[in-house]
């Protein structure tokens, strides 16, 4: 396969942060008298702030204080990750191999840029990425393809020759819509028939990605 670039999602793909974020959302909601369930929080996976607000307002109603709860959750989340960012298995091995082969990499995340940069720095992996496109830098959140199209553009790569690595449904939808080869490495969301149709491959971990490059 001719691979010009690898485009990485962040939360749940590189870093084991989804469970932490979900728990903090549920806790913040409870502190303000709202019952937020794991299935509610799952709607936010892979989307940026604007899309998340739209989904929650539709679900909970127009009076739901999304911005207030999100800001409080993000503040706690950011403070926690400033100390330690847990890596998903085989991330460093994959990044080291890509560097050896001279394959460019980018991060395409729905998280805001400040937190993306903080996480990459704290995790010690920022040097491995040549470009970042964050959730607050695109008009259309995943599942729209914009974030990955911008990643490919920044790296000077043809999307058709890019591999997207994702753990979320919306991320796989975005990678597929961008014309990339979207590979799913499941974390909290198990593969569905839709994912099996859209994904170029579904792999158990980042270790197996090497076989596709």
Q: What is the pLDDT of residues 75-102, one digit of tens each?
A: 998 898 998 999 999 999 999 999 999 9
> What is the chain's mean pLDDT, rounded?
95
Q: How many CB atoms lie within 10 A of CB 42?
A: 15
Q: Please tell me the distance from the alpha carbon of residue 31 to that of residue 9, in angstroms, as a whole number.
A: 30
pLDDT > 90? residue 11: yes
The answer to whether residues 20 and 77 touch, using CB atoms and an 8 Å cutoff, is yes
Q: Please tell me the distance from the alpha carbon of residue 140 to that of residue 48, in angstroms, as a whole number.
A: 9
| Mean pLDDT of the 29-35 span | 95
pLDDT > 80? residue 106: yes
| Mean pLDDT of the 38-44 span | 91
Give percent of the chain above pLDDT 70: 100
Q: In what order do the strands lie in the sheet with 131-133?
A: 131-133, 105-108, 5-8, 162-166, 181-184, 201-202
pLDDT of residue 213: 84
The answer to whether residues 13 and 88 touch, using CB atoms and an 8 Å cutoff, is yes
pLDDT > 80? residue 8: yes
pLDDT of residue 46: 80
Angle, alpha carbons 101-150-88 (nearest 5°): 55
Count of positions (residues) in the chain:
213
pLDDT of residue 144: 97
The answer to whether residues 129 and 94 touch, using CB atoms and an 8 Å cutoff, is no
Token pair, residue 102, equals 């001279």
pLDDT of residue 141: 93
Q: Rounded to two decimals, what is the model's pTM?
A: 0.89
| Mean pLDDT of the 159-170 span | 97
| Mean pLDDT of the 18-39 span | 93
Angle, alpha carbons 61-67-69 (nearest 5°): 90
Q: What are the structural domains of the chain?
A: 5-16+86-212 (3.40.50.1000), 18-81 (1.10.150)
pLDDT > 90? residue 202: yes
Q: Please tell me the distance from the alpha carbon of residue 80 to that of residue 78, in angstroms, as a whole number.
A: 5
| Mean pLDDT of the 173-178 span | 99
The answer to whether residues 143 and 170 touch, using CB atoms and an 8 Å cutoff, is yes
């Amino acid at each position: 396969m001719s691979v010009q670039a690898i485009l990485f999602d962040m939360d749940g793909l590189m870093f084991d942060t989804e469970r932490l974020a979900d728990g903090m959302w549920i806790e913040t909601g409870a502190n303000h008298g709202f019952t937020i369930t794991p299935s509610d929080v799952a709607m936010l996976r892979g989307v940026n702030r604007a899309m998340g607000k739209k989904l929650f307002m539709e679900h909970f109603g127009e009076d739901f204080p999304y911005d207030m709860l999100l800001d409080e959750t993000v503040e706690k989340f950011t403070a926690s990750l400033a100390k330690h960012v847990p890596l998903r298995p085989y991330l460093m091995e994959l990044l080291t191999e890509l560097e050896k082969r001279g394959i460019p990499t980018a991060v395409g995340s729905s998280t805001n840029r400040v937190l993306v940069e903080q996480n990459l720095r704290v995790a010690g992996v920022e040097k491995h990425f040549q470009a970042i496109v964050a959730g607050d830098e695109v008009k259309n959140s995943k599942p729209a393809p914009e974030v990955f199209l911008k990643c490919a553009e920044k790296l000077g790569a043809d999307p058709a020759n890019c591999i997207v690595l994702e753990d979320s449904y919306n991320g796989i939808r975005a990678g597929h819509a961008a014309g990339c080869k979207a590979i799913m490495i499941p974390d909290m969301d198990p593969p569905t028939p839709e994912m099996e149709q859209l994904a170029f491959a579904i792999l158990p971990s980042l270790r197996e990605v090497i076989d596709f490059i």
